[in-house]
Amino acid sequence: MTVTPLGIPRRMLEFTLDGEEARVPEGSTILDACRAAGKDVPTLCEGDTLRPKNACRVCVVEVEGARTLVPACSRKAEPGMEVRTDTERARHSRKVVLELLASSVDLSTTPKVAGWLKEYEAKPDRFGPDAARLNEEPKVDNDLYVRDYDKCILCYKCVDACGDQWQNSFAISVAGRGFDARIAVEHDAPLTDSACVYCGNCIEVCPTGALSFKSEFDMRAAGTWDESAQTETTTVCAYCGVGCNLTLHVQDNEIVKVTSPHDNPVTHGNLCIKGRFGYQHVQNRD
Amino acid sequence: MDLHFGDSKPTDEERAAVDALLGPPESSWEGADRSDADLRWARGGREARDRRDLLLPGLHAVNDRIGWISEGALDYLCRRLTVPPAEAYGVATFYAMFSVKPRPATVLHVCTDLACAAAGAPELCAGIETRLGLGSGVSVERSPCLGLCERAPAALAIKAGDPVRTAVSAPATVEEAVLAAGSPGSAPEEPPAALAVPQAGQDGLMLLHRVGVVDPSSLDDYRAHGGYTALRRAFELGPAGVIREVTDSGLVGRGGAAFPTGRKWQATASQPDRPHYLVCNADESEPGTFKDRVLMEGDPYALIEAMTIAGYATGAHRGYLYLRGEYPRALHLLEHAIGQARARGLLGDDVLGQGYAFDIEIRRGAGAYICGEETALFNSIEGYRGEPRSKPPFPVEKGLFGKPTVENNVETLVNVLPILTMGAPAYAAIGTGRSTGPKLFCVSGSVMRPGVYEVPFGATLGDVLTLAGVREGLRAVLLGGAAGGFVRADELDVPLTFEGTREAGTTLGSGVVMAFDDSVPLPRLLLRIAEFFRDESCGQCVPCRVGTVRQEEALHRIVERTGADAAGDIALLREVGRAMRDASICGLGQTAWNAVESAIDRLGAYE
Ligand code: SF4
Ligand code: SF4
Ligand code: SF4
Ligand code: FES
Ligand code: FES
């Protein structure tokens, strides 16, 4: 059973969205309003369980009177605002941002991005064959998960999930700056030397597959990863009494990874090491 | 928060450097040896966490003493402050002046930025590197503008130790720079700040009138030259009265954004949330800008008095002076001046016996242009990476430590003194309708007398260049620094006001006037500007982090090309530039393409 928490009733505010009246509860973002109106605004760094970091800038929209474009994911709707989501100006920025990203990192495992590249007619190749790329080797330093920063768009979601927003382990952070900025543990050490407790909450929020289960990483390398052949079953974790929800991803009768429903009011998608990674006993058939 | 610390240990010297700042640790929870009491009693926790803002000073302490920051030193500092090591590592690697890899105790920063490049920095660097090869015990680092452009080319030597020693060589020769790096302690003294003010001692100066006239280390001398009359007047007027005067004077911020200062003060003063903070932005890092340095070195008490007035008006009892890490002389003079002011009751619990408490703390930056952005500056003071925050909320509401904060740069604050002594109407009568008062310009490059010039708003670019004695063969002038724009040699009648430059399709920015004659290869200059922004991008948002890289690559490709051969890459530059201007989080990404665009459109670079 999913419990929907009832908040205090909020006042509604009115503003214009692409020329039409929109009514949203006070405190909503422009993105909330867009989604309610069925408009498709691309997002990458926005996370449903995290405070918006608004770093990727693919969700920018035009607000009447603002000098620059504004990120829909974090800007709150204000009464009387005039917002346009699909102008040439906004589309141009989204297109260039997608090109900049796709030309510098590997987006092959980022859901939806292929569609957006097509929709915005982005041509990441036009920066030439010598365009600088991240060129990071995957960091495989423990048995549970792999950090492949060649796919990292620096959305900060994993840092926020590991830090003060959920896990409070503060095992990872952004180091360096500019194009050289990377997610790292202290002294750029292996994960095993860090404060990581292997809750996997960073994997849960990573939008690009830069962080992935070792099982998924190995299967992808072996060419056996097949999402279409997987089933998902949500159940309750059996380890302790908290009652966290687990979603088991099963392929060929094997659990290949574990996620957790984000709309669960107890866990919001977060788990501990046992719920996230402790599934081998289930499939230990000898 | 359950922090995990590695087992790297600090050396005795590293420990001493940290303890000199924070005092000795009181328990094993903070990094001391374990005592019996520690088994029963845990302390530190919240109390230590409240000192997170000492992270940057702590990193400086280690870097100053050792020259770099080792794992053991960083971990020890983290223990003392209850800061997660991963976060502290992220902070330490954000700043250009820190190193987390071993390096020699002496670092020689050689400026390769615009004015210095035009004055022969590439040859200087090459010469220095030949002389100081491997094993010399000096690490030579190419640096962005050191704020010494009037004496280009410039070099700054920093030798770690207790105390840390610094020496400036400018204009630098290979010999002098090598000498300065070899023994910074015995290098020849820098010329006084007044030498950067060709007008020094002239009548009619309002902001620079004491530079070269007073002894910057003497409070009495400052008072004998009119010091502290403005503060007395402020106390007569009361906070609301001061804000009224500043509003009526028409003063707008001199940092580039040109926001009305009185409105900002009023907005902060009226916030119910307490405490209020005052922040003086002295992180002058715009290439070509050195006026704040000259003001601070030539008349440091003026800034302290102005900060006290601003604090009084806005209801702040604490002011932070965020000073560029590359300004050692300004640091010493200001530290001394603050100490004197405190000893004489001009700072502290009861300023001038008026029952108003105010004190100033200096925080040093560590080599990051972005920390001049106001919200990045707050993050930097608080001990986080100097990444800009997204606005809203605005600083007047939630600024430093999440509290209402008023932030002004040095030049803006110093303007408050004449406003109070002469009165708002007299001040507002100077300049033009929308741009009132005097304005400082940093003139450098191909001129006979480079330096800081004070002129009333309304003077033209030509007027300022005439004062500085422009050399033959002027090709272009860069207005407003790397984030500004180029104008042609035939556009010298542009009035140097906010509205005048806007009308002419350019910007006043921070008051940079950098002249280039036709001996300077323009494409190299543009490449240097692009490199600067790529280097200084904080990396937070995609348009700026990747856009600056793609622009630099395109400029590299067309360095020797023109016309049709360059057209494709120029189109690319425009498209990327437009997205950077529209979609970047902060002003750095939004303006990074301005100067190059103006060079293409106004100067016809690559035609
Ligand atoms: S697994 Fe958990 S503790 Fe480890 S880095 Fe990810 S979020 Fe942090
Ligand atoms: S690893 Fe994933 S979650 Fe972390 S910053 Fe990179 S893309 Fe975002
Ligand atoms: S525009 Fe550049 S400097 Fe500003 S937040 Fe974005 S990446 Fe950082
Ligand atoms: S999704 Fe809005 S900025 Fe990234
Ligand atoms: S000091 Fe070298 S350009 Fe300013």
What is the gyration radius of the CA atoms in chain A, in angstroms? Answer: 20
* A195 contact B CB<8A: yes
Mean of the per-residue pLDDT values of chain B: 95
* B289 contact A CB<8A: no
Nearest C-alpha to atom 8 of ligand 1 is from which residue? A162
| Centre of ligand 2 from the C-alpha of residue A5, in Å | 29
Q: What pLDDT, on the 0 to 100 scale, is given for residue B43?
A: 58
| Centre of ligand 1 from the C-alpha of residue B540, in Å | 21
Residues 172-191 of A with CB under 8 A from B: 172-181, 184-189
Question: How many angstroms separate the CA of residue B549 from the nearest CA in chain A?
Answer: 7
Identify the nearest ligand to the CA of A175 by its number.
2
* B587 contact A CB<8A: no
Question: How many angstroms separate the CA of residue B310 from the nearest CA in chain A?
Answer: 29
For residue A155, the tally of other CB atoms under 10 A from its CB is: 25
* B402 contact A CB<8A: no
With the most atoms of ligand 2 within 8 angstroms of its CB, the residue from A56, A58, A104, A155 to mutate is A155
3-state secondary structure of A234: strand
Please tell me the distance from the alpha carbon of residue B177 to that of residue B128, in angstroms, as a whole number: 7
**Chain B: residue whose CA lies nearest to A76:** B392
For tokens 């610390």, the residue is: B5
With beta carbons under 8 A apart, name residues in chain B contacting A95.
579
Contacts of B429 (CB under 8 A, 6+ apart): B436
Does residue A262 register a pLDDT over 90? yes
Does residue A225 register a pLDDT over 90? yes
Q: B97 near B367, Cβ under 8 Å?
A: yes
Nearest to B254 by CA among B415, B99, B107: B415
- Report chain B's terminal Cα–Cα distance, integer Å: 60
Strands A245-251 and A231-236: antiparallel
Please give the ipTM for the structure prediction: 0.95
Please tell me the distance from the alpha carbon of residue B182 to that of residue B158, in angstroms, as a whole number: 10
Query: Do the chains contact at A132 and B553, CB–CB below 8 Å?
Result: yes
For residue B257, the tally of other CB atoms under 10 A from its CB is: 11
> pLDDT grade, residue A125 (50/70/90)?
very high
Q: B210 near B299, Cβ under 8 Å?
A: yes
pTM score:
0.96
Please tell me the distance from the alpha carbon of residue B270 to that of residue A243, in angstroms, as a whole number: 49
Q: What pLDDT, on the 0 to 100 scale, is given for residue A152?
A: 98
Q: What pLDDT, on the 0 to 100 scale, is given for residue A61?
A: 98
Q: What pLDDT, on the 0 to 100 scale, is given for residue A1?
A: 41
Query: What percentage of chain B carries pLDDT values higher than 90?
Result: 89
Query: Do the chains contact at B84 and A71, CB–CB below 8 Å?
Result: no
Q: Which string of DSSP letters, residue by residue, matches B444-496? A: EESBSS-EEEEEEBTBBHHHHHHHHTBPSSEEEEEESSTTSEEEETT-TT-B-
Query: CB of A160 closer than 6 A to ligand 4?
Result: no
Q: What is the mean pLDDT of residues B205-225?
A: 97
Tens digit of each residue's pLDDT (9 = 90 or more) over B542-567: 999 999 999 999 999 998 888 888 99
- Alpha-carbon distance values, B497 to B426, B437, B552 (Å): 19, 11, 31
Please tell me the distance from the alpha carbon of residue B171 to that of residue B176, in angstroms, as a whole number: 9
Q: Is residue B316 within a helix (H) or strand (E), and if so which, with residue range?
A: strand B316-323
Query: CB of B435 closer than 6 A to ligand 3?
Result: no
Task: Report how many Cβ contacts below 8 Å link chain A to chain B.
Answer: 164
What are the backbone dihedrals phi and psi of residue A233, each rounded to the nearest 5 degrees, phi first? -130, 125
Axis crossing angle, helix B410-422 with helix B300-314, rounded to the nearest 10: 80
Tens digit of each residue's pLDDT (9 = 90 or more) over B156-202: 999 999 999 999 999 999 999 999 999 998 888 899 999 999 999 99
Q: What torsion, rounded to 10 degrees, do the Cα atoms B456, B458, B462, B468 define?
A: 10
Query: CB of A53 closer than 6 A to ligand 2?
Result: no
Ligand 5-lining residues (CB < 6 angstroms)? B 111, 113-116, 145-149, 152, 154, 287
> pLDDT grade, residue B39 (50/70/90)?
low
Instruction: Give the rounded distance of the alpha carbon of B355 from its chain centre.
Output: 32
Q: What pLDDT, on the 0 to 100 scale, is given for residue B4?
A: 87
Phi-psi region of B350 (alpha: psi -120 to 50; beta: other; left: phi over 0): beta
Tens digit of each residue's pLDDT (9 = 90 or more) over B223-239: 999 999 999 999 999 99
Instruction: Give the rounded distance of the alpha carbon of B34 from its chain centre.
Output: 43
SS3 content of chain B, % helix, strand, coil (to 5): 45, 15, 40
Joined tokens for residue B54: 């000492």
Identify the nearest ligand to the CA of A156 by its number.
2
Domains, chain B, with CATH or none: 12-93 (no CATH), 106-187 (3.40.30.10), 219-429 (3.40.50.11540), 431-517 (3.10.20.600), 522-603 (1.20.1440.230)
Query: CB of B279 closer than 6 A to ligand 3?
Result: no
What are the backbone dihedrals phi and psi of residue B408, each rounded to the nearest 5 degrees, phi first? -135, 155
Sign of CA dihedral B489, B494, B496, B498: negative
Nearest CB to A179: which of B390, B543, B546? B546
For tokens 């640096």, the residue is: B143
Q: What pLDDT, on the 0 to 100 scale, is given for residue B48?
A: 63
Tens digit of each residue's pLDDT (9 = 90 or more) over A1-57: 445 556 677 799 999 999 999 999 999 999 999 999 999 999 999 999 999 999 999
Q: What pLDDT, on the 0 to 100 scale, is given for residue B1?
A: 65
Domains, chain A, with CATH or none: 9-133 (3.10.20.740), 139-283 (3.30.70.20)
Query: Do the chains contact at A177 and B385, CB–CB below 8 Å?
Result: yes
* A125 contact B CB<8A: no
What are the backbone dihedrals phi and psi of residue B359, each rounded to the nearest 5 degrees, phi first? -140, 160
What are the backbone dihedrals phi and psi of residue B128, each rounded to the nearest 5 degrees, phi first? -65, -40
Burial-class residue A229 by CB neighbours within 10 Å (0-12, 13-18, 19+). exposed
DSSP B531: H
User: Length of chain A in residues, anyone?
Assistant: 286
Please tell me the distance from the alpha carbon of residue A149 to that of residue A31, in angstroms, as a whole number: 28
B23-37, B122-136, B212-226: range with highest mean pLDDT: B212-226
For tokens 């003086």, the residue is: B280
* A66 contact B CB<8A: no
Q: What torsion, rounded to 10 degrees, do the Cα atoms A177, A182, A187, A191 define?
A: 160
With beta carbons under 8 A apart, name residues in chain B contacting A180.
539
Query: CB of B170 closer than 6 A to ligand 3?
Result: no
Identify the nearest ligand to the CA of A73 by its number.
4
3-state secondary structure of B319: strand
Please tell me the distance from the alpha carbon of residue B270 to that of residue B268, in angstroms, as a whole number: 5
Does residue B356 register a pLDDT over 80? yes
Joined tokens for residue B400: 């430093």
Tens digit of each residue's pLDDT (9 = 90 or more) over B366-425: 999 999 999 999 999 999 999 999 999 999 999 999 999 999 999 999 999 999 999 999
* A57 contact B CB<8A: yes
Q: Which amino acid is at B469?
A: G
Q: B112 near B122, Cβ under 8 Å?
A: yes
- Report chain A's terminal Cα–Cα distance, integer Å: 34
Tens digit of each residue's pLDDT (9 = 90 or more) over A232-244: 999 999 999 999 9
Tens digit of each residue's pLDDT (9 = 90 or more) over A177-221: 999 999 999 999 999 999 999 999 999 999 999 999 999 999 999
Contacts of A133 (CB under 8 A, 6+ apart): A103, A104, A105, A150
Please tell me the distance from the alpha carbon of residue A101 to that of residue A207, in angstroms, as a whole number: 13
Query: Do the chains contact at B1 and A170, CB–CB below 8 Å?
Result: yes
